[in-house]
Structure 1
Amino acid sequence: MLSQTRVAHARGATGTPLIEETIPTFFAAMAQRQAEHPALVSRHQDRRYSYAGLRQASLQLASALLGLGLQKGDRVGIWSHNNAEWVLMQLATAQVGLVLVNINPAYRTAEVEYALNKVACKTLVTMARFKTSDYLGMLRELGPAKLPHLRHTVWIDEAGRGDEQPGMLRFSELLARGNPEDPRLPAIAASLAATDAINIQFTSGTTGFPKGATLTHRNILNNGFFIGEAMKLTPADRLCIPVPLYHCFGMVLGNLACLTHGSTIVYPNDAFDPLAVLETVQAERCTGLHGVPTMFIAELDHPRFREFDLSTLRTGIMAGSPCPIEVMKRVVSEMHMGEVTIAYGMTETSPVSCQSSTDTPLERRVSTVGQVQPHLEVKIADPETGAALATGATGELCTRGYSVMLGYWDDAEKTREAIDAEGWMHTGDLATMDDEGYVNIVGRIKDMVIRGGENIYPREIEEFLYRMPQVQDVQVVGVPDRKYGEELCAWIVRRPGQALSEEQVRAFCSGQIAHYKVPRYIRFVDAFPMTVTGKIQKFRIREAMKEELGLQEDRTA
């Protein structure tokens, strides 16, 4: 009997219905059900909120924002690392239909000017400064002439402390102006629809300025809920969130996953610090921990790692960039996270499309990004035609369903390029799907290396090199080559105290992988160029190598 080839197209379960409420309506019901249960712990600020307290404060802030003359649909920016003010802004803006605009804390003057003007932002809440970043100084440098839409700048102070900032308002003063019983609040909330735009997130790009992915209540509330379902979150869970809130990882996989399940949000610090994470997990008895692979590596390899009791941990999410199999195994065995899950997605899909569950067999969790999320569809498509391929074949991963963004703000052309006429979001990621619907990401279409006519996926080489005990982290890219079109280059971070040479790396590869997959160029580095969210910027590695080798792009081989 002939076997039938299956098509790489999967649909998620629909047994649990989608939430068709807005964020404020859903949160109000949760706060009523468990008013005194802990909702938020911000360790570095020494602040704690119950569900009732968090809702009361968010209503007070929503009233204060209306007092600035803001109206439903206006854009309000937040330019800050993680803190209680961030989540208050997330809830307060949703309460009155304001569109929260997430500004990357790494942005500098040209980028923040572009972002604020692109969406005509009327109010900006910002940190005053962080380390070497003087946010208020950058805003003053730009001035009203370059930010014509901006009416109010609110800076996050520490309980009234800090110098006065002429022309700017303290966050504590703004909050004090609000009234949680403001009669406008329920009236505006009742006028909101789940399909209203509620959030704009600027996607990181390798060239030019980023695009503003526009998301709705329905997008992010449901995604947060189903992410929490996959983790089996309950009110007993306490989730440590060291990933940034300005990104979907923090505000959806973190905040909304907790708030839709009555769990407790725990912020260990304003920005990632591995020691603060370890201390917080122990002190707050956290049951979950989020992070990108580089964060988990930093925690595992911290010299004081063995001092901390992490036995309360059971779950969490590793996402944001490809998850090395060896790192995943260490997280399970050394951090007690036997129910850790892998999630895959992109900002434009709110963000998660695929996720493993807590009971997915470990071998599937370490080798795939799980299966399609409920109420979504994914397919592996021919990048040229968009037709679904057979299972096992490599193609572009596409997503369709409730999670797909409304579009890029004020950019219909880019939206049409990303979302086709049938509603499929084209991710640009190369993937395969097996007969059970498990998806494996093999790389980015633009990262695929073509050497002498052979298609090489850097992820495969990286996973192989992670087997070397001396390798802490590794990234593989292609660099131009006149003879072969491209050659492989590996940047390697050694484990602390370990010696490793180029010759040892090549000897490890010899006879184990095809000769054309052995990196021609091997460099040992202390760290990789990356975004604030921990995504490796491979294009910068390529640029550095091209400059070092005096190479120019040449694909005419």
Structure 2
Amino acid sequence: MSAVQNPVEETIVLPQPQRLSLLKGPTDPPLVDLTLGELLNLQCLHHGHREGIVIPWTGARWTYNELNHRSRLLAAALLEMGIGVGDRVGIMAGNCEQYAAVFFAATRIGAILVIMNNTYTPTEAMYGLDFSECKVFFTTKKIGRLDQGPLLTQLAARATGPKVVILRGDSEGYSTYKELLAQGSKVDPERLHYAESKVLPHLVCNLQFTSGTTGLPKAAMLTHHNIVNNSRFIGDRMRLTHNDVLCCPPPLFHCFGLVLGLMAVITHGGKIIYPAEVFDAPATLRTIIDEQCTAVHGVPAMFDSLLALPEAKNLKAADLRLRTGIVAGAPVPRYLMELMVSKLGMSEFTSSYGLTEASPTCFNAFTDDPIDTRLTTVGTLMPHARAKIVDRDGQIVPIGTRGELCIGGYQLQAGYWNNSEKTNDCMMKDEAGVLWLHTGDEAVFDERGYCTITGRFKDIIIRGGENIYPLEIEERLVAHPSISMAVVVGLKDAHYGEVVGAFLQLDPGHTASTKPAVEEVREWCRRKLGKHKAPTHVFWLGHDGVPATVPLTGSGKVRKFEMAQLGNKLLEGAKAKI
């Protein structure tokens, strides 16, 4: 596939006379109709003997042909197991070469890969597997320091459920990735060819879980068409070519690592390197240096950790090959941007905005946009996309006015898996019949069509690029016998951008002397939720200078914005006393 075609891009602001916040993305380059399997086959014709994926921590260095070959063997084995079009195949693992092979294997035969967050607790993982009715589940005994033993024990105790396949290491009686490769080699290639011929670009190929405000995660349905085209346009904005080497610390379970990472590179014939199973700052820096990387992705917290390393003090941009990369997930502080340019040489870094339901990237800066533009905006609209900003009544607002960002175009999800109610809540047609995704994010467009994200209509907490929804944490907290009410908000944090803050009301049957310690509250959350959802800051209503009541709206809803302001004020006061 061709690499850079962005010079013809020109975002159109519609309509001109009224200057409303309505944008239409460029129509060049054109959309392509390819499945993921067809894409990889095509890239092998052009780049087959080039290295495509490198995993330093496992020692893997696969060419495009090797990735294609292994994915075909796995696909054949899945066919032999009875997996076909529309069947769900789950995966929960760290960044590794096997992950990429499973992704292409499942999707090339029309199966739907169900991607699980590798920080899920057994309860969360079991919900995801049951909800999507996975028939096969790829995982490992450990993911970084996370022990998967409890999850595997729960799966083994059930009479029904997915067939477990261990990707690496000790299998303890489970089927293994290597065994599937061997099985696949015995399957008639014509059978695989026939199965691939039945797969169409607009079929759903991926379920991406995104936390829901109801406390239960929703699964966004993405198609081959969504992912292939969105990743092409991402690579174009970065000016990627077959000579580029991308260091990608973000996880493959997230669209950042999968679409902006793996797929953006595959569509441009480059090389991608996942430096560690889970984020590891020293390993990332070693990869950038040793592999002569030209690009690196990450959320601001990752770059913050990278540049805080002792060995980073002597870094000189002139000694590195880095030029670009995407920084997304949270606003980039100016000091961090300056270090990225001066220390890492990322003079062509780009800012970006997207969400899982939009496959994911909607806006992205160009590499030659002024640095201030890349620092204060998320760039311009991507090709073949539409965007508008509306007020709370759904009316399009004038340019320069804040409102809710809505996205339209080819990239929209097919909906939420088995959840038409939530699909209809956020995806609606306008009077002209155009389908729009209401993002819940607050934004503003300028006269040039650049977008700035100014806040959120919803109460999402973005911690280091990961979306966290307060309600599921609140529900867990009030299940504690000592807590009668919980209000969870995002609080400012220099490292993660935002962290979880919890305002708690002590149950009437308890006193200040018997209230649980902060660490007990955190551990209570960790038992059922991912560790990143445990509160960093805990405030008890009516104690230690915290007001005894919470501000309410006329309808009785908590004014969370005011609670977040209070939390940040309390933290500032605590710092001032130190």
Is 1:442 equivalent to 2:451 in the alignment?
no
State the match for 1:228 in structure 2. Answer: 235
- Distance in 2 between the 1:494 and 1:411 partners? 35
Output one character per residue of 1:207-235: Cα deviation in whole Å (capped at 9) or x when no partner. 51110001000011111110000001000
State the match for 1:554 in structure 2. Answer: 551
Asked whether the 8 Å contact 1:155–1:170 carries over to 2, the reply is: yes
State the match for 2:387 in structure 1. Answer: 378
- Distance in 1 between the 2:138 and 2:90 partners? 6
One-letter amino acid of the structure 2 residue matched with residue 157 of structure 1: R
Q: How does 1:159-174 map to 2 (within 5 A)?
A: 162=170, 164-166=171-173, 168-174=174-180
State the match for 2:559 in structure 1. Answer: none
Asked whether the 8 Å contact 1:124–1:153 carries over to 2, the reply is: yes
Name which of 36, 44, 47 aligns with 2:57.
44
State the match for 1:432 in structure 2. Answer: 444
RMSD between aligned residues: 3.2
Farther-moved stretch of structure 1 (33-42 vs 409-418)? 33-42
Q: CA deviation at 1:359?
A: 1.1
One-letter amino acid of the structure 1 residue matched with residue 367 of structure 2: T
TM-score normalised to structure 1 length: 0.80
- Distance in 2 between the 1:46 and 1:256 partners? 21
TM-score normalised to structure 2 length: 0.77
Is 1:178 equivalent to 2:175 in the alignment?
no
Is 1:105 equivalent to 2:105 in the alignment?
no
- Distance in 1 between the 2:184 and 2:533 partners? 46
- SS at 2:29 equivalent: coil
Is 1:358 equivalent to 2:389 in the alignment?
no
One-letter amino acid of the structure 1 residue matched with residue 414 of structure 2: L
- SS at 1:59 equivalent: helix
CA 1:308–1:280 in 2, change beyond 3 Å: closer, same or farther? farther
Asked whether the 8 Å contact 1:325–1:367 carries over to 2, the reply is: no
Q: How does 1:283-362 map to 2 (within 5 A)?
A: 283-308=290-315, 311-362=320-371
CA 1:494–1:343 in 2, change beyond 3 Å: closer, same or farther? closer
- Distance in 1 between the 2:329 and 2:455 partners? 13
- Distance in 2 between the 1:10 and 1:344 partners? 15
State the match for 2:84 in structure 1. Answer: 71
- 5+ residue gaps, structure 1: 449-457, 460-476, 478-485, 496-527
Q: CA deviation at 1:148?
A: 3.2
Q: CA deviation at 1:447?
A: 4.6
Output one character per residue of 1:356-403: Cα deviation in whole Å (capped at 9) or x when no partner. 011111111010000100000111111x22221001101001000011
Name which of 90, 106, 124 aligns with 1:93.
106
Asked whether the 8 Å contact 2:52–2:62 carries over to 1, the reply is: yes
- Distance in 1 between the 2:135 and 2:224 partners? 21
State the match for 2:35 in structure 1. Answer: 22
Asked whether the 8 Å contact 1:39–1:263 carries over to 2, the reply is: yes
State the match for 1:512 in structure 2. Answer: none
Aligned length: 481
- Distance in 2 between the 1:258 and 1:378 partners? 26
- 5+ residue gaps, structure 2: 1-15, 463-469, 471-486, 497-521, 555-578
What percent of counterpart residues are identical? 36
- SS at 1:378 equivalent: strand
Name which of 218, 228, 234 aligns with 2:225.
218
State the match for 2:286 in structure 1. Answer: 279
CA 1:545–1:131 in 2, change beyond 3 Å: closer, same or farther? farther
Q: CA deviation at 1:333?
A: 2.3
State the match for 1:405 in structure 2. Answer: 413
Q: How does 1:185-264 map to 2 (within 5 A)?
A: 185-205=192-212, 207-264=214-271
- Distance in 2 between the 1:222 and 1:312 partners? 28
Output one character per residue of 1:433-453: Cα deviation in whole Å (capped at 9) or x when no partner. 0011100001111359xxxxx
CA 1:124–1:536 in 2, change beyond 3 Å: closer, same or farther? closer
One-letter amino acid of the structure 1 residue matched with residue 41 of structure 2: A
State the match for 1:127 in structure 2. Answer: 140
Q: CA deviation at 1:94?
A: 1.4
State the match for 2:402 in structure 1. Answer: 394
- SS at 1:26 equivalent: helix
Output one character per residue of 1:306-328: Cα deviation in whole Å (capped at 9) or x when no partner. 34565200011001223333322
Q: CA deviation at 1:262?
A: 0.1
Output one character per residue of 1:441-490: Cα deviation in whole Å (capped at 9) or x when no partner. 01111359xxxxxxxxx99xxxxxxxxxxxxxxxxx9xxxxxxxx9x996
CA 1:93–1:367 in 2, change beyond 3 Å: closer, same or farther? same
